[in-house]
Structure 1
Amino acid sequence: MELFVGIDMGTGSSKGVLVTVDGEILASEQRAHTMSLPHPGWAEVDAEAVWWADVCAIASTLVARVPAGSSIEGVCVSGVGPCLVLTDSELRPVRPAILYGIDSRATSEIVEMTELFGAAEILSRCGKSLSSQAIGPKIEWVRNNEPEVFARATRWYGSNSYIVAKLTGEYVQDHHTASQCDPLYSVREFGWNTEWVDRVLGGLELPRLAWPSEIVGRVDARGAEATGIRVGTPVVAGTVDAYAEAFSVGVRHPGDLMLMYGSTMFLVQVLADYHTNPALWTTTGVQSGTYALAAGTSTAGSLTTWLQTLTGGAPFDVLMREASAVPAGAEGLLVLPYLAGERTPVFDADARGVMAGLTLRHGRGHIFRAAYEGISFGIRQILEMFDDAATPVSRAVAVGGGLRSPVWAQALSDITGRTQLVTEQTIGASYGDSLLAAIGVGAVSPETDWATVASEVPPNPAHKALYDDLYGNWLQLYPATRDIVHAGAQLTK
């Protein structure tokens, strides 16, 4: 029996699955990990001690569960991104990996690089404006602030491409991850921005490009010894976790949208044609020659986890009962969920959380419901921008651990007016990785889709008028408080 291993390195944990050619999961494994927040606005991970250690442990466990007479025929790894892993010539990281848009240290470099290349030209070529999500300014930050570290670096990786190198020795970047490494990649042309590469990389080598399901190498002796996967097993390029997750739930056709409920919220929509909006991210898709539109918040599940800890650490089911008992609209309480700054659509690293309308009548359940509603108002704001794209949203599929909260899922459907589809298999990006591996080695056709819709979350029309009014009020919170919270943000620096 042919089997495939998919492993995903998320923000709070890494997950792996062992899957048959028909999409049946035979085994799964998970390891929790944490990121480091050494300074305000910084978010880092030790790529070797966390990501590589997770992959080795998970792979070894899955290999031990391979049934007699079966064999692993392909491997794919995805991870958070875009991230910056700088290594020396021996593949040793020279500093902790700098994470995706939740790391906002390179604010001045974003301004300088935008002035250098031109905002309009960057948007036209890269499909998005430079933001805390961009890799180019983060490379520049290391060069400016840690010159002795940068001098030791020879290559740069994302989370998944670093693991590919550890498994195979190959230096490669998948097209999708590359399309988020602004301003290094031209999304419209599916290739490196050759005119800008030398200025941005400053001597770092440029990896070759491959599509996420392409075989880019085979497990070598060192990779086999560390993971237990046999020497010679094909490894495909993989990609950023959110896009692997979208692939796993059948978000494959123009107009398809994935709503990912996690530590942050991430949205991916497949486009029919190239389209740009300075408040959104246009990237390549997972499949060869395709485009996607994306957006991401800076907090979501991380906000409610923080609230859970802050309010005494009550069990999740208790908190959900309390939030469910509160009427829609949380009796006038509004939350602006910008506790870690915000990415889409305001791109403001100094944005901060706001709670408006708080009274002595409000309890813990009100705060939790208002937090879920505040996150959902932000998603409505993003989806209105998606609808203005060349390919309006026609189908929304919900994924992620946040679906454990019925309050959150229902609030989002009510506030956005969208029915959300939930698939039978919701294990996440690692499942999509397995499918990419199976496609890559030719075990299944490129059109294969393992996703089956199991349930729906339709909007409650009784809440529409209330939420429309509250949304109008919520939209005013950020501009009304921006100057105040910016002043406060300076006190944390």
Structure 2
Amino acid sequence: MNNQYVIGVDFGSDSVRALVVNAQTGEAVGTHVHEYTRWKQGLYCDPATSQFRQHPLDYLEGLTATITGALAQAPADIRQQVVGISIDTTGSTPCAVDETGLPLALRPDFAENPNGMFILWKDHTANAEAEEINNLAHHWDTDYTKYVGGIYSSEWFWAKMLRTLRVDETIRAHAFSWIEHCDWISAVLTGNTNPLTLKRSRCAAGHKALWHSEFGGLPSNEFLTRLDPLLSGLRDRLFTDTHTSDQSMGHLSPEWAEKLGLSTNVVIGVGAFDAHMGAIGAEIEPYAFVRIIGTSTCDILMAPNEEIGHRLIRGICGQVDGSVAPGMLGLEAGQSAFGDVYAWFARLITGPVRELLGQEAADAMNQQLIPYLSVQAAKLPVTKNDVIALDWINGRRTPDANHTLKAAIAGLNLGTDASKVFKALVEATAFGSRSIVDRFLDEGVPIKKVIAIGGVAKKSPFVMQTLADVLNKPIQVASADQACALGAAMCASVAAGVHPTMEAAQHAMGSGFDAVYTPQPDKVAVYETLYAKYLKLGSFVEKEL
């Protein structure tokens, strides 16, 4: 058999990357990364109000740049052997579209309107709307939040949509429908962006849009109208059916085939969120806990429906049949900030340097700061009287979403220096991770192994060792530098018919693991005490502040 190639495209928070992979062997033959131009300039965002928007042009430019750039690294004849492309994105990242599926920001009259752009996952401007959804759902005949942990989040589809319709009359007048980033960018490649006919992701719909077969799809029009009359009738302009990522969305359109130098025979797979495809790329198996660790974390578990499907897991980001692999229940959790906690601390320290000594000095310091603090923090003893911090600097995603929460640091004295505070922040992110693991275990979901992927997992031994000590579990780090893009490529190989199942694609294309962090017994015992203090501090902050 001639070799066949697939392309996985991974849209992250700051950049997009494409990976060209041999579908028979998993060998990567080309890759390219593109940073979003407008996002990098901070356009359309206001961190002080938790507004984070991304222009669709950043996505389109990135799609072209990464695929053509990755193909340029590969031998020329490989273009004729590419059979599939699949895409993952962050989420929930919805956008208002017109009748053709065009994001409103791509129209001249909305080109600079942030409300016509994609609303990034970490945008928390809809906290009040999320609370309204929860209050109504918990008093409705059907609790539409039952399959998303019982708490709807401001990071998700309906809250963001409702907030935008309320605050922007011009969007309200022109928004025919709404679409997730993973659905739209995949549909763009097929040439069919009609919001009424394009295939919607089961992963996105189930975890973020309250879709479930038990409900006949999305929440009822009666529920949505009671929530706000602005939503009346919108259900009919969205979707009823959803599709798993082993399925084909269509074929590459002539326009994009010419632009990318590929054949119109290339299959475009149904899209999904980055964490779920990343879990596939990390060779997830039943009851493996996969942590995608970057600016935030997404945690993915997969379990047989017949064993876990009858349970309703409290306070997570949803349990969805087929959101990872068909026939398996996908369970999602995560932290709203992980690497972002460390980045905040770096900005706190380097900000005055920038103002006093200039940008060049600040940039030089910033490059060295986190590695330096990691080395210094690793030398510190772990004692029961150490500084304690909370990781809620961007609110809490799970367990029990609450994005109005703030972080705190306790136990400071005149001897506390930067390395001790940094150590406490790293431990805080590990304690937040522990609370997620404990919730799964408390709800009767076993965790048989822990797998980590993402930038922090690959680059920060101190962080990973601390995490292993706090979880008291070994952590395997996947070898793949771009596990999400590799997982997308695996999905493309199944959608294109190269492999019959996700498991078969993982077996053929997986790259294994290159590091294992084993708990240190002397630190495990101390961390039990510090974790108890973390929980006590968190309870105080949540109730009293």
Within the alignment, does 1:441 sit opposite 2:496 as a pair? yes
Q: Distance in 1 between matches of 2:378 and 2:539?
A: 30
Partner of 1:186: 212
Select which of 153, 158, 166 maps to 1:131: 153
Q: Is 128-137 or 348-357 further displaced after alignment?
A: 128-137
Q: Is the 8 A contact 2:267 2:496 kept in 1?
A: yes
Instruction: Show the 5 A alignment for 1:387-406.
Output: 387-403=441-457, 404-406=459-461
Within the alignment, does 1:205 sit opposite 2:237 as a pair? yes
Partner of 2:16: 14
- Kindly tell me the number of residue pairs found equivalent between the two proteins: 482
Q: TM-score scaled by structure 1?
A: 0.91
Partner of 2:293: 261
Q: Is 37-46 or 435-444 further displaced after alignment?
A: 37-46
Partner of 2:107: none
Q: Distance in 1 between matches of 2:119 and 2:393?
A: 20
Match for 1:84: what amino acid? Answer: P
Q: Distance in 1 between matches of 2:251 and 2:532?
A: 54
Identify if the C-alpha distance between structure 1 residues 484 and 41 changes in structure 2 by more than 3 Å, giving closer, same or farther. farther
Q: Give, in angstroms, the shift of residue 173 of structure 1.
A: 1.1
Q: Distance in 1 between matches of 2:155 and 2:340?
A: 18
Q: Give, in angstroms, the shift of residue 336 of structure 1.
A: 0.9
Q: Is the 8 A contact 1:135 1:180 kept in 2?
A: no
Identify if the C-alpha distance between structure 1 residues 222 and 143 changes in structure 2 by more than 3 Å, giving closer, same or farther. same
Partner of 2:143: 121
Match for 2:249: what amino acid? Answer: V
Q: Distance in 2 between matches of 1:295 and 1:103?
A: 17
Q: Distance in 2 between matches of 1:41 and 1:178?
A: 27
Match for 1:178: what amino acid? Answer: A
Identify if the C-alpha distance between structure 1 residues 392 and 73 changes in structure 2 by more than 3 Å, giving closer, same or farther. same
Within the alignment, does 1:305 sit opposite 2:343 as a pair? yes
Partner of 2:26: 23
Q: Give, in angstroms, the shift of residue 236 of structure 1.
A: 0.2
Match for 1:268: what amino acid? Answer: I
Q: Distance in 2 between matches of 1:20 and 1:224?
A: 20
Q: Distance in 2 between matches of 1:107 and 1:202?
A: 23
Instruction: Please report the RMSD computed on the Cα atoms of aligned residues, expressed in angstroms.
Output: 2.3
Q: Is the 8 A contact 1:175 1:190 kept in 2?
A: no
Identify if the C-alpha distance between structure 1 residues 147 and 276 changes in structure 2 by more than 3 Å, giving closer, same or farther. farther
Identify if the C-alpha distance between structure 1 residues 293 and 140 changes in structure 2 by more than 3 Å, giving closer, same or farther. same
Instruction: Show the 5 A alignment for 1:20-419.
Output: 20-21=22-23, 22-33=25-36, 34=39, 36-38=44-46, 40-70=48-78, 71-94=81-104, 95-100=116-121, 102-118=122-138, 121-124=143-146, 128-170=150-192, 171-183=198-210, 185-186=211-212, 191-193=217-219, 199=225, 200=231, 202-203=233-234, 205-207=237-239, 208-253=241-286, 255-272=287-304, 273-274=308-309, 275-284=311-320, 285-312=323-350, 313=366, 315=368, 316-329=370-383, 332-403=386-457, 404-419=459-474
Q: Is the 8 A contact 2:96 2:171 kept in 1?
A: no
Identify if the C-alpha distance between structure 1 residues 181 and 328 changes in structure 2 by more than 3 Å, giving closer, same or farther. same
Query: For residues 108-127 of structure 1, what are the alpha-carbon distances to aligned partners after superposition, in whole Å with 9 as ceiling and x for unaligned?
Result: 32233334343671233555
Q: Distance in 1 between matches of 2:339 and 2:244?
A: 31
Match for 2:420: what amino acid? Answer: H
Partner of 2:110: none
Select which of 508, 533, 538 maps to 1:473: 533
Q: Distance in 1 between matches of 2:338 and 2:216?
A: 32
Query: For residues 56-104 of structure 1, what are the alpha-carbon distances to aligned partners after superposition, in whole Å with 9 as ceiling and x for unaligned?
Result: 110111232332332211000100012211111243322011122x222
Match for 1:287: what amino acid? Answer: A
Unaligned residue ranges in structure 2 (runs of 5+):
105-115, 193-197, 226-230, 351-365
Q: Distance in 2 between matches of 1:390 and 1:292?
A: 15
Query: For residues 26-74 of structure 1, what are the alpha-carbon distances to aligned partners after superposition, in whole Å with 9 as ceiling and x for unaligned?
Result: 1111122336532644343334221221111101112323323322110
Q: Give, in angstroms, the shift of residue 309 of structure 1.
A: 2.7
Q: Distance in 1 between matches of 2:212 and 2:495?
A: 24
Q: Is the 8 A contact 2:7 2:18 kept in 1?
A: yes
Q: Distance in 1 between matches of 2:425 and 2:330?
A: 29
Q: Give, in angstroms, the shift of residue 6 of structure 1.
A: 0.5
Match for 1:113: what amino acid? Answer: I
Partner of 1:488: none
Q: Give, in angstroms, the shift of residue 339 of structure 1.
A: 1.5
Select which of 485, 505, 519 maps to 1:459: 519
Q: Is 430-439 or 144-153 further displaced after alignment?
A: 144-153
Query: For residues 380-427 of structure 1, what are the alpha-carbon distances to aligned partners after superposition, in whole Å with 9 as ceiling and x for unaligned?
Result: 111101112343111111111112111110111101111111222232
Q: Give, in angstroms, the shift of residue 325 of structure 1.
A: 1.8
Q: Give, in angstroms, the shift of residue 147 of structure 1.
A: 2.8
Greater helix proportion: 2
Match for 1:300: what amino acid? Answer: F
Q: Is the 8 A contact 1:139 1:201 kept in 2?
A: no
Match for 2:318: what amino acid? Answer: T
Partner of 2:542: 482
Q: Give, in angstroms, the shift of residue 134 of structure 1.
A: 2.8
Q: Distance in 1 between matches of 2:60 and 2:536?
A: 44
Q: Give, in angstroms, the shift of residue 378 of structure 1.
A: 0.9
Q: Distance in 2 between matches of 1:229 and 1:144?
A: 43
Q: Give, in angstroms, the shift of residue 177 of structure 1.
A: 0.9
Tell me, what secondary structure is at the counterpart of 1:209? Answer: coil
Q: Is the 8 A contact 1:3 1:20 kept in 2?
A: yes
Q: Is the 8 A contact 2:156 2:208 kept in 1?
A: yes
Q: Distance in 1 between matches of 2:223 and 2:73?
A: 44
Match for 2:31: what amino acid? Answer: S
Identify if the C-alpha distance between structure 1 residues 40 and 278 changes in structure 2 by more than 3 Å, giving closer, same or farther. farther
Q: Distance in 2 between matches of 1:190 and 1:476?
A: 42
Q: Is the 8 A contact 1:322 1:365 kept in 2?
A: yes
Q: Distance in 2 between matches of 1:472 and 1:462?
A: 17
Q: Is the 8 A contact 1:213 1:238 kept in 2?
A: no
Q: Give, in angstroms, the shift of residue 196 of structure 1.
A: 6.1
